[in-house]
Each structure stands twice: as C-alpha cells, then as structure tokens.
Amino acid sequence: MSHSPWWRGAVIYQIYPRSFLDTDGDGVGDLPGIVDRLDYVASLGVDAIWISPFFKSPMADFGYDIADQRAVDPLFGTLEDFDRLLAKAHALGLKVMIDQVFSHTSDQHEWFRESRQSRDNPKADWYVWADASEDGTPPNNWMSLFGGVAWRWEPRRCQYYLHNFLSSQPDLNFHNPDVQQATLDYVQFWLDRGVDGFRLDSINFCFHDAQLRDNPAKPVEMRVGRGFSADNPYAFQYHWHNNTQPENIPFLERVRALLDRYPGAVTLGEISSEDSLATTAEYTSGNRLHMGYSFELLVDDFSAGYIRDTVSRLEAAMTEGWPCWAVSNHDVRRAVTRWGGANPSPQLARLLVALVCSLRGSVCIYQGEELGLPEADVPFEALQDPYGITFWPNFKGRDGCRTPMPWTGDADAGFSRGTPWLPVSDAHRALSVAAQDADPDSVLNAFRAFMAWRKEQPALVRGDIAFLETAEPVLAFVRDGEGQALLAAFNLSADPAELALPTGDWQAVHGHGLPAVAVVDGRVRLPAFGVLFAQAV
C-alpha cells in the first residue's frame, strides 16, 4: 500500500476504563487493567486504542466532568500507570488516543472554584456567566442536554452560569483567550507524554453566542435527535446559539497547529449539531480536525436507504476531510440490540463489523462489539447514569452499554474480585472472551479474521466509495483505490435477499472470516445478514 498517515483507514478500539478490567478489587476498572489486557486488544488486529476519560473527577458524569486535566484519578491509578500503558501499547504496535473535554469542566475544578467566588477574581471570566433577567429567571431559553434549563444560579456572584450538560459541568468561556491557551497547554502536556492523538468530546460546544440570543422553537414533528429523545425538552429547540459558533473554527486551527508540531499526532472530533454532517465536513476541511464523526449511524434507523443517504451526504459535503464511522459507543444502546431486537443474531454482529469497516474512512469499535454483546438490562435500582435516572422509564440511560467486559463465564465475568460498579449481564457471560476464544466459529474469531483480511485490502482502507442503486434490504457499494476495486454487499435483513451485480464478470472474494457467498450468472443470493465481497475478473 502507498504511504499515508497511520490514522487514514485505521480501526480504533474504544476502551471505557471503568468497565474494562478491575485489578484492585474496588469494582471499577483501572489503567493497570488496560495494561493487563493490551495483548488481547492487539490480537484483534486493530490499529489504535481510544481511552475514555481517566482524569481526576468527582465522577458525576463518570469522568466527563474533569477536575484536573493533567492528573489521573486515583480510582484509575497513577500517571506512572498511564506511562506503562503507553509504553506497552507502543511496543505492541498500538497507537494511543485519549479523550479530551474542552467545552466544560467539573464544578470541582480549581478554575471554577475560583471563578464562582466573585466577579473580579483572576478566573472571573473563565466560565460563561450572565445576569438574571429582570424577573430573576435565566438570561435566555437555552436547555441542557440532560434535561431542564442550561443555567444554574450562583449566589456568591448573583449570576447564572451555563451548563450544556449536568449542572455540575459548567461551560468554559472560550471567548476568553486565556481559556484557549490553558486548553492548548494541557493538550501539549499529553503530547509531550507521548500520546498519539485525542478524541475531542463535544468539540462543537466550545463557543456560545456572545449575545446570548434565544434558540428558536422547533416544530413538534421535528423534535427528534441523535442521542436524545422527544420527551427531552432539549429537543424542543434549534440549537443555533448554544453551540457550533463561527469562532470555533480559528480555535480548531490553533489546535491543529499545535498537533502539527508532533508528527503523527491526530484529532478526532465528536460533533453533534443541527446538521452534524455539514459541521463534520466544515470542521475537517483545511487545517482543522484530522477526522470527525457524529451520531448519524448511532440511531434506530437500520435501512440500506438511510445508511446510503447518510454516507452519501457526508461524501458530497466532505471534499477535503476524512470521516470516521461508528455504530456503537458508550452513549447509545449496543448496535446488535438497537438493530437486531431482543435476541440478535450472531451473524448480525459479524455483518455490522464488516459493514462499518468497509465504509470510506476510519472506524471506532466499542469494547465488546467484537464479541457481539447485546445491550444489558440494568434494573432501575442499579442505575448509575444520571441521564437515565432523570428520564426513567422512557429512557433507561447509558448504563446498558457500559456494563463490565465479560472475560470469563464466572459470576464476576473475570472483571473484578469485588462488587462491579454495574451488574454483570448473564447474557454477556455466555459470550465471554474465554468462551469465544475457544470457538473457531465465534463472533470474536470472525472479527479477528476480518481485521487481518481488511489490512491487506488497500481499497477498503483508503479507497473511494461509490454506492450502487439497490432495493431494500440490500446495501451495496464499490471501494476503489490503489489498483484495487472491491464490491461489497450487505443483506440487512433476517430473510434471504437477491442482488444482481453490475455488468461484468464478478468473482466472490474469500478469506475474510465471513460465510462464503457464491456469484452465479451475475447474481448473488445473500443469506440472512449475509455479506459479499467480490472483485471484477
């Protein structure tokens, strides 16, 4: 293959450290646990790991409320543990990306502790403060994604502060140049430590409208969104003013200029705006983010038309940048349950990995996806997620995708010798790493085989993409690049489906770890959740 940056076409394995492996018996995963299982991760054939936050935090939002961006929370270990993790990952050929949360901090952060004391202290303007309206109500109508108004009263200043998420997650004021510089400084701290890149959480939320204008109301029929439901008042507005402001662009260029001083370092931005695809294209053009991804494939719609239209719209808009795709992460129901129902087929799990890893771009794979894990059923009394507790029972929150990784079939799934912070799912124990390691026909071993095969297909790693016009439930496209053209077809149904291939002589390609499918007289019969890769001969 031709030389290109390591991240183009990379498969990035997301580790949620609380739930990966607990080595000290407190029921919460830790950095030494990740170190212990890096050989397993390397055996998957992925290129990099992305570690969700492990920084000092009161854990109101389980690490996405950071109290010190340069310190490891004792719950997860020490900076020395992180250095060991970094060294071992690099020795295994794995790149290491870490989460960074620019837009807000914990209310326990020393910056906010100082800022909230008065209107004239050195950090007074580091957060978004505003006077009350004449009647004492908040300064505008902005809503928090976690429910309710996005403003919290602070009696010491007699002002409100903005929080787009939990009230314990105050928003930083990026209109202040000192805030921007402080952010760049801690990013450089981790670059100097040797990390290979950053997944930037909610990156379009850094700046707010300086005029604090009200968001306009959204019609009832439009009150749907990615990551929130119609019973959440956040869905009642067009979020034109509380995020995705034009001032974010020059700041992203400053971030990129810093990373360009570290060869190979990369940024992956999480983007959720009123038009996330357009914002992703904008944020990855020029000298801004290296890659961007959004929630567009983390929704309930599992149809060939939706996936084709979504990817095609981004392809049309993204003339310079590089996409990244994911179908699962720590914020949404696991994909096999979301798209396969209560008893998803193992073949669906195989198809989803092959599908997302065949789209043009890089890929994020969430821990357990390689096992085909379904969503865990967490009873209300065991819930930890404040989002789920608030919106129960209509929305059960994010705990069902965050339960402990099943390493064995034992009662604790080999995760912890203590009481796990979330209950281990019975369904997950049956799909443990130990059980699937020993089964040559398992989802796990199919995952490994596909990853090894994909690395040898330049068209899949970095080629262009062109969709074929197909009827439901079949999605098909051609990946073309570096002297190779591959046709990929996916039956998104539990029933067999037929597909007529484009004019020409097509031959099925094997060796990818998926069940063989034959091409006969230019046609193919795809079994339930069947996959075809073919090349012209």
Could you tell me the CATH number of the domain that includes residue 494?
A: 2.60.40.1180
| Residues contacting residue 487 through CB under 8 Å, at least 6 positions apart | 468, 476, 477, 478, 501, 502, 506, 532, 533, 534, 535, 536
Same domain? For 196 and 213 the reply is no
Residue 194 belongs to domain spanning: 11-106+177-208+262-453
| Residues contacting residue 438 through CB under 8 Å, at least 6 positions apart | none
Same domain? For 23 and 81 the reply is yes
Provide the 8-state DSSP code for 425: P
Query: Any idea of the CA torsion for 13, 14, 16, 19, to the nearest 10 degrees?
Result: -30
Let me know: does 73 contact 35? Beta carbons within 8 Å.
Answer: no
In total, the chain counts a number of residues equal to 537
Same domain? For 322 and 386 the reply is yes
pLDDT at 536 (0 to 100) = 86
Same domain? For 37 and 160 the reply is no
251 lies in some domain:
no
Q: Which of 241, 236, 254 is nearest to 211 (CA)?
A: 241
88 lies in some domain:
yes
Q: Which of 354, 353, 382, 395 is nearest to 370 (CA)?
A: 353
Same domain? For 442 and 516 the reply is no
253 lies in some domain:
no
Same domain? For 86 and 126 the reply is no
Same domain? For 427 and 357 the reply is yes
247 lies in some domain:
no
Give the CATH number of the domain where residue 77 resides.
Answer: 3.20.20.80
- Taking the CB of residue 523, how many other CB atoms lie within 10 A of it? 12
Give the pair of three-digit tokens for residue 335: 């994909």
Residue carrying the six token digits 């339960």: 403
Same domain? For 230 and 266 the reply is no
The string of DSSP letters for 215-262 reads PPB--GGG---SSS-TTSGGGGB--SSSS--TTHHHHHHHHHHHHTTS
Give the CATH number of the domain where residue 161 resides.
Answer: 3.90.400.10
Does the annotation count 201 as an active-site position? yes
Same domain? For 32 and 61 the reply is yes
Count structural domains, the chain: 3
b/e map 28-60, b = 16+ CB within 10 Å: bbbbbbbbbbbeebbebbbbbbbbbbbbbbebb
Q: Is the dihedral of CA 84, 88, 89, 90 positive or negative?
A: positive
Domain boundary among 425, 453, 481: 453
168 lies in some domain:
yes
Beta bridge partner(s), residue 174: none
79 lies in some domain:
yes
Torsions phi, psi for 198 (to 5 deg): -135, 135
Provide the 8-state DSSP code for 430: T
| Residues contacting residue 113 through CB under 8 Å, at least 6 positions apart | none
Does the annotation count 275 as an active-site position? no
4 lies in some domain:
no
Q: Which of 94, 8, 46, 95 is nearest to 324 (CA)?
A: 8
Domain boundary among 422, 453, 484: 453
Same domain? For 510 and 395 the reply is no
Among the listed residues 47, 81, 196, 201, the single catalytic one is: 201
Among the listed residues 22, 81, 270, 296, the single catalytic one is: 270
Same domain? For 283 and 312 the reply is yes
pLDDT of the chain along its 537 residues, tens only?
Answer: 457 899 999 999 999 999 999 999 999 999 999 999 999 999 999 999 999 999 999 999 999 999 999 999 999 999 999 999 999 999 999 999 999 999 999 999 999 999 999 999 999 999 999 999 999 999 999 999 998 999 999 999 999 999 999 999 999 999 999 999 999 999 999 999 999 999 999 999 999 999 999 999 999 988 876 555 668 899 999 999 999 999 999 999 999 999 999 999 999 999 999 999 999 999 999 999 999 999 999 999 999 999 999 999 999 999 899 999 999 999 999 999 999 999 999 999 999 999 999 999 999 999 999 999 999 999 999 999 998 998 898 888 999 999 999 999 999 999 999 999 999 999 999 999 999 999 999 999 999 999 999 999 999 999 999 999 999 999 999 999 999 999 999 999 999 999 999 998 899 999 999 999 999 999 999 999 999 999 988
459 lies in some domain:
no
Rg, Å, the chain Cα set: 23
pLDDT at 411 (0 to 100) = 94
Same domain? For 386 and 517 the reply is no
Let me know: does 183 contact 207? Beta carbons within 8 Å.
Answer: no
